[in-house]
């Protein structure tokens, strides 16, 4: 039986469905103190005084920490995780490290910034005391509009970032300026992807417990190793004294891919007080003090001929960083490297700036720059069609990269410094299949008739490419244990992706056992000396490669040991069913348990001459560059032209993610991603008012899609192109779902109202936005 490719139900489910999982809030360490924060009520202000006396005297309060209290003891996080790699020089990147303060000291820079930490015997008592902390502020002018914030005279967020421009880059491919000047037709658009947030169902949470010199930190994070390194650096202790582990984790989607002030501070407090200390973020805190995302304003121009062939695109955009954009090469540079999608556009220019403002910081969120890029590109394609009175499907098809030009070179570097070269093919066939599946021709035949009956139905289309499996590396170690199981140690940090199951399928095939015989452990800095984490559609590619390479090494090792035991040459042995045996003579063999004992150090060892003891092998996999998935998405919508209400009837997605290990899990990733895309398109919006106050601070204001908003979803895995850039032939899939819905749904609404020739260039497409567009068009 081969496990890879099967719809295997997940190994990780039983504790989760029975409510016996252990998320950070569920730990029950005796004597745990709970922390609540006083947070800034102002976007920008000077702190003139802090009085904690009354709070300190309140029932249950153990300690209180302010910015001045920890000055010189706990350093701000200076996140320089994305220093530009060699190969990226042509993009002329200028990146200032992002500063993230642990507790405000003298000045607050966004609403929600942590100012004072109250430690008490219960969360109730900690929150009581929060109300008793007296802080006086002097309000200061705030930078809130990124286009204004970069101009001279604007309030400065951090003194080390001149003009608030924290990062910038530029890309030039061909000569877009000349092509625009020479163009038969051209258009210009302003397109905005609004500020949204990942909103995982579990908020963040940190629990730190100190014994002697060592602190164990359980954090709801996607990057345990980086969290460990940053904590150690910020509080000035060796990394070995900090162990960071993930517990069960209620989603992340990029919001937990940063090191946060609370992770540092809770660790520090636990080391000061020598007891377990926990902070569990509440939802309001999550909405104002966990990373936001997107928030890009694009000014784009396109040149095209009378048939709709696009000859040049020139884009300038500003990303509203808030107080930091810790990953400018993801949030902003991904825009450039994914902008031209599946299209053959010879001339391309883009200028990007990440600008600091007095808002919460901006992190990559599922898709990370790709949804923003796809929204601009596929709105442009649609506008070209509208301008020329052509069918949008025809314009898309005319611009697709033909198979004979694959592997297509985009003539610009990826963010890892290597040139973007697609390792995929079949764009036109995938697009034709989308039109067939969605019933495009029939729609064109029946649309006018439906409209006459009062049904305003539209179909909109979108395309995407996705560089997946980004480095820098991932780690894996495999061992046979005393029970005869095969144990995986992985540097990834799963939080819903089903990596236990997926990786167990891979290892089960390698060793001829079942996934149940495989033990999977990950997300713990004590397991492996180096590791990275789970984000950016990377784990199946990078962790998978590290695991399969470790498997191969371990198979060689256990065959050599079994050969010694059986007095046979290793090449005459085979592995299967938890045994190593002689080819064709299954009765003549040794079990994994016996191999484990033979591999142990000391007198019982039966090792080949020169082999050291142990039944484990490890591998660090460094990808040559990313591997490219792609896909096409179609949306069917009905629009009420009176109210602007949009009813998404159907989403169809075809995608290539290379070799599929578990179709059930891949389908779940696509469905979940598409529905997040619906939320980002129609409902979700982090709104700040003109004084920098966040207006969406509950799920009553920040609207997530519920089951009632879910349309019919049709998906097909393309027969695609197994990657030759990793040993499993896989491509990442986690982020693909939300990339195209904004463009596809916007284009579908425009199609539903095609006689009006409306434009929809600003997300979210709320009823008010759609109604206003209709009104502007004279409808």
Partner 1 sequence: MNEVEVRLAVNGRERTARCEPRMTLADFLRGHLGLTGTHLGCEHGVCGACTVLLDGATARSCLMLAVQAQGHEVTTIEGLGTPENPHLLMRAFSEMHGLQCGFCTPGFILSAHEYLRENPRPDRLAMRKDLSGNICRCTGYVKIFEAVERAAELMEDPESVRS
Q: What residues make contact with partner 1 under the rule CB under 8 A?
A: 9-10, 12-23, 25-26, 28, 59, 124, 199-203, 248-251, 253, 282-283, 495-498, 664-665, 667-668, 671-676, 698-700, 704, 706-708, 710, 713, 737
User: Could you tell me the smallest distance in angstroms from the CB atom of residue 122 to partner 1?
Assistant: 8
Return the number of the residue (489 or 702) whose C-beta is nearest partner 1: 702
Task: Strand 712-717: give its sheet, edge to edge.
Answer: 456-468, 627-639, 646-656, 712-717
Residue 644 contacts residue 432 (beta carbons within 8 Å): no
User: Could you tell me the smallest distance in angstroms from the CB atom of residue 363 to partner 1?
Assistant: 16
CA 607, chain centre distance (Å): 45
Return the number of the residue (715 or 769) whose C-beta is nearest partner 1: 715
Return the number of the residue (22 or 483) whose C-beta is nearest partner 1: 22
Return the number of the residue (197 or 349) whose C-beta is nearest partner 1: 197
User: Could you tell me the smallest distance in angstroms from the CB atom of residue 353 to partner 1?
Assistant: 31
Q: What values do phi and psi take at 530, rounded to 5? A: -130, 150
User: Could you tell me the smallest distance in angstroms from the CB atom of residue 701 to partner 1?
Assistant: 10
User: Could you tell me the smallest distance in angstroms from the CB atom of residue 639 to partner 1?
Assistant: 20
| Cα–Cα dist 684/194, whole Å | 9
Return the number of the residue (21 or 439) whose C-beta is nearest partner 1: 21
User: Could you tell me the smallest distance in angstroms from the CB atom of residue 732 to partner 1?
Assistant: 16
Return the number of the residue (1 or 700) whose C-beta is nearest partner 1: 700
CA 423, chain centre distance (Å): 22
Return the number of the residue (435 or 674) whose C-beta is nearest partner 1: 674
| Cα–Cα dist 537/735, whole Å | 6
User: Could you tell me the smallest distance in angstroms from the CB atom of residue 55 to partner 1?
Assistant: 16
Structure tokens at 633: 């998405």
CB within 8 Å of 47: residues ≥ 6 apart: 67, 104, 105, 106, 107, 108, 115, 135, 136, 137
Q: Over the Cα atoms of the chain, what is R_g?
A: 27
CB within 8 Å of 710: residues ≥ 6 apart: 675, 678
- What is each CA distance from 230 to 217, 242, 389, in whole angstroms? 13, 10, 55
CB within 8 Å of 120: residues ≥ 6 apart: 33, 34, 35, 36, 58, 60, 61, 62, 126, 128, 129
User: Could you tell me the smallest distance in angstroms from the CB atom of residue 573 to partner 1?
Assistant: 37
Q: What values do phi and psi take at 577, rounded to 5? A: 60, 30
CB burial of residue 120 (10 Å; 0-12, 13-18, 19+): buried
Helices 499-511 and 539-566 meet at what angle, rounded to 10? 30
Return the number of the residue (14 or 585) whose C-beta is nearest partner 1: 14
Return the number of the residue (18 or 389) whose C-beta is nearest partner 1: 18
Return the number of the residue (29 or 151) whose C-beta is nearest partner 1: 29
| Cα–Cα dist 516/80, whole Å | 41
User: Could you tell me the smallest distance in angstroms from the CB atom of residue 171 to partner 1?
Assistant: 34
Return the number of the residue (214 or 667) whose C-beta is nearest partner 1: 667
Count of beta carbons in the 10 Å neighbourhood of residue 130: 21
Residue-wise DSSP of 213-243: TEEEEEE--S-HHHHHHHHHHHHT--GGGEE
User: Could you tell me the smallest distance in angstroms from the CB atom of residue 250 to partner 1?
Assistant: 3
Residue with tokens 């040149």: 303
For residues 171-189, one letter each, b for 16 or more C-beta atoms within 10 angstroms of the residue's C-beta and e for the rest, the string is: bbbeebeebbeebeebeeb
Residue 331 contacts residue 325 (beta carbons within 8 Å): yes
Beta bridge partners, 171, equal: 350
| Cα–Cα dist 118/406, whole Å | 59
User: Could you tell me the smallest distance in angstroms from the CB atom of residue 496 to partner 1?
Assistant: 3
User: Could you tell me the smallest distance in angstroms from the CB atom of residue 649 to partner 1?
Assistant: 13
Return the number of the residue (15 or 472) whose C-beta is nearest partner 1: 15
Beta bridge partners, 726, equal: none
Residue 376 contacts residue 299 (beta carbons within 8 Å): no
Cα–Cα nearest to 756, from 771, 777, 735: 777
Alpha helices in 356-464 (DSSP H): 370-388, 392-399, 427-438, 440-452
Task: Strand 214-219: give its sheet, edge to edge.
Answer: 61-66, 114-120, 33-39, 277-280, 205-211, 214-219, 242-245
User: Could you tell me the smallest distance in angstroms from the CB atom of residue 245 to partner 1?
Assistant: 17
CB within 8 Å of 718: residues ≥ 6 apart: 426, 430, 433, 631, 654, 655, 656
Residue 616 contacts residue 554 (beta carbons within 8 Å): yes
Return the number of the residue (308 or 741) whose C-beta is nearest partner 1: 741
Return the number of the residue (200 or 533) whose C-beta is nearest partner 1: 200
Return the number of the residue (497 or 504) whose C-beta is nearest partner 1: 497
User: Could you tell me the smallest distance in angstroms from the CB atom of residue 704 to partner 1?
Assistant: 5
Return the number of the residue (530 or 699) whose C-beta is nearest partner 1: 699
Residue 142 contacts residue 359 (beta carbons within 8 Å): no
Return the number of the residue (668 or 779) whose C-beta is nearest partner 1: 668
Return the number of the residue (458 or 673) whose C-beta is nearest partner 1: 673
User: Could you tell me the smallest distance in angstroms from the CB atom of residue 382 to partner 1?
Assistant: 25
User: Could you tell me the smallest distance in angstroms from the CB atom of residue 657 to partner 1?
Assistant: 16
User: Could you tell me the smallest distance in angstroms from the CB atom of residue 283 to partner 1?
Assistant: 4
Structure tokens at 181: 């000047």
Cα–Cα nearest to 102, from 239, 281, 293, 269: 269
User: Could you tell me the smallest distance in angstroms from the CB atom of residue 505 to partner 1?
Assistant: 14
CB within 8 Å of 606: residues ≥ 6 apart: 561, 564, 565, 598
Residue 329 contacts residue 82 (beta carbons within 8 Å): yes
């Amino acid at each position: 039986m081969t496990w890879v490719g099967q719809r295997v139900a997940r190994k990780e489910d039983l504790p989760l469905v029975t409510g016996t999982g252990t998320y950070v809030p569920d730990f029950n360490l005796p004597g745990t103190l709970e922390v609540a924060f006083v947070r800034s009520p102002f976007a920008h202000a000077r702190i003139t005084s802090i009085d904690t006396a009354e709070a300190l005297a309140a029932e249950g309060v153990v300690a209180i920490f302010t910015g001045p209290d920890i000055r010189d003891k706990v350093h701000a996080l200076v996140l320089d995780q994305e220093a530009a790699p060699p190969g990226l020089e042509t993009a002329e990147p200028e990146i200032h490290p992002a500063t993230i303060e642990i507790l405000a000291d003298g000045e607050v820079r966004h609403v929600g910034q942590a100012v004072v930490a109250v430690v008490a015997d219960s969360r109730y008592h900690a929150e009581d005391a929060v109300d008793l902390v007296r802080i006086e502020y002097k309000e200061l002018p705030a930078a809130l509009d990124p286009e204004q914030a970069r101009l001279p005279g604007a309030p400065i967020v951090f003194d080390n970032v001149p003009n608030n421009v924290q990062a910038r880059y530029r890309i030039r491919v061909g000569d877009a300026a000349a092509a625009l000047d020479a163009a038969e037709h051209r258009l210009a658009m302003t397109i905005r992807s609004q500020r949204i947030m990942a909103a995982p169902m579990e908020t963040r949470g940190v629990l730190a417990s100190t014994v002697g010199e060592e602190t164990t930190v359980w954090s709801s994070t996607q990057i345990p190793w980086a969290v460990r390194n940053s904590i150690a650096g910020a509080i000035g202790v060796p990394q070995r004294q900090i162990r960071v582990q993930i517990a069960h984790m209620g989603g992340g989607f990029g919001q937990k891919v940063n090191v946060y002030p609370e992770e540092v501070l809770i660790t520090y407090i636990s080391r000061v007080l020598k007891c377990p200390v926990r902070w569990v973020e509440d939802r309001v805190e999550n909405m104002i003090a966990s990373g936001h995302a997107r928030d890009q304003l694009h000014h784009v121009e396109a040149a095209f001929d009378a048939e709709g062939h696009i000859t040049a695109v020139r884009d300038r955009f500003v990303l509203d960083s808030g107080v930091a954009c810790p990953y400018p090469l993801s949030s902003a540079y991904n825009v450039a490297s994914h902008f031209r999608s599946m299209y053959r556009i010879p001339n391309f220019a883009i200028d990007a700036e990440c600008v600091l403002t007095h808002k919460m910081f901006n992190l990559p969120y599922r898709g990370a720059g790709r949804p923003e890029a796809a929204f601009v590109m596929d709105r442009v394609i649609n506008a070209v069609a509208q301008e020329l009175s052509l069918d949008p499907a025809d314009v898309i098809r005319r611009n697709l990269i033909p198979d004979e030009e694959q592997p297509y070179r985009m003539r610009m570097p990826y963010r890892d410094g290597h040139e973007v070269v697609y390792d995929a093919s079949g764009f036109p066939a995938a697009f034709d299949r989308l039109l067939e599946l969605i019933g495009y021709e029939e729609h064109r035949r029946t649309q006018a008739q439906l409209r006459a009956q009062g049904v305003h139905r539209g179909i909109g289309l979108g395309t995407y490419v996705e560089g997946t499996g980004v480095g820098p590396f991932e780690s894996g170690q495999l061992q046979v244990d005393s029970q005869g199981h095969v144990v995986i140690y992985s540097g990834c940090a799963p939080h819903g992706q089903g990596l236990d199951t997926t990786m167990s399928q891979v290892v089960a095939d390698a060793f001829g056992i079942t996934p149940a015989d495989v033990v999977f452990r990950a997300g713990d800095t004590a397991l492996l000396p180096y590791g990275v984490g789970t984000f950016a559609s990377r784990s199946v590619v990078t962790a998978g490669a590290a695991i399969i390479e470790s498997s191969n090494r371990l198979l060689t090792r256990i065959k050599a040991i079994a050969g010694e035991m059986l007095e046979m040459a290793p090449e005459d042995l085979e592995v299967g069913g938890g045994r190593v045996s002689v080819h064709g003579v299954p009765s003549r063999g040794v079990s994994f348990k016996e191999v484990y004992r033979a591999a142990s150090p000391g007198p019982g060892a039966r090792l080949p001459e020169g082999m050291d003891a142990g039944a484990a092998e490890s591998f660090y996999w460094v990808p040559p560059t990313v591997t490219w998935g792609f896909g096409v998405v179609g949306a069917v919508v009905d629009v009420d032209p009176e109210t602007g209400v949009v009813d998404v009837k159907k989403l169809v997605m075809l995608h290539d993610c290379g070799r599929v290990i578990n179709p059930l899990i891949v389908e779940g990733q696509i469905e979940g991603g598409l529905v997040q895309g619906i939320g980002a398109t129609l409902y979700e919006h982090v709104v700040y008012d003109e004084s920098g106050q966040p207006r969406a601070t509950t799920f009553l204001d920040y609207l997530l899609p519920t089951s009632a908003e879910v349309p019919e979803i049709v998906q097909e895995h393309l027969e695609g192109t197994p990657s030759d850039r990793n040993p499993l032939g896989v491509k990442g899939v986690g982020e693909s779902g939300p990339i195209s819905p904004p463009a596809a749904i916007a284009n579908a609404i425009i199609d539903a109202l095609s006689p009006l020739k409306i434009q929809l260039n600003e997300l979210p497409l709320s009823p008010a936005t759609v109604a206003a567009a209709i009104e502007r068009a004279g409808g």
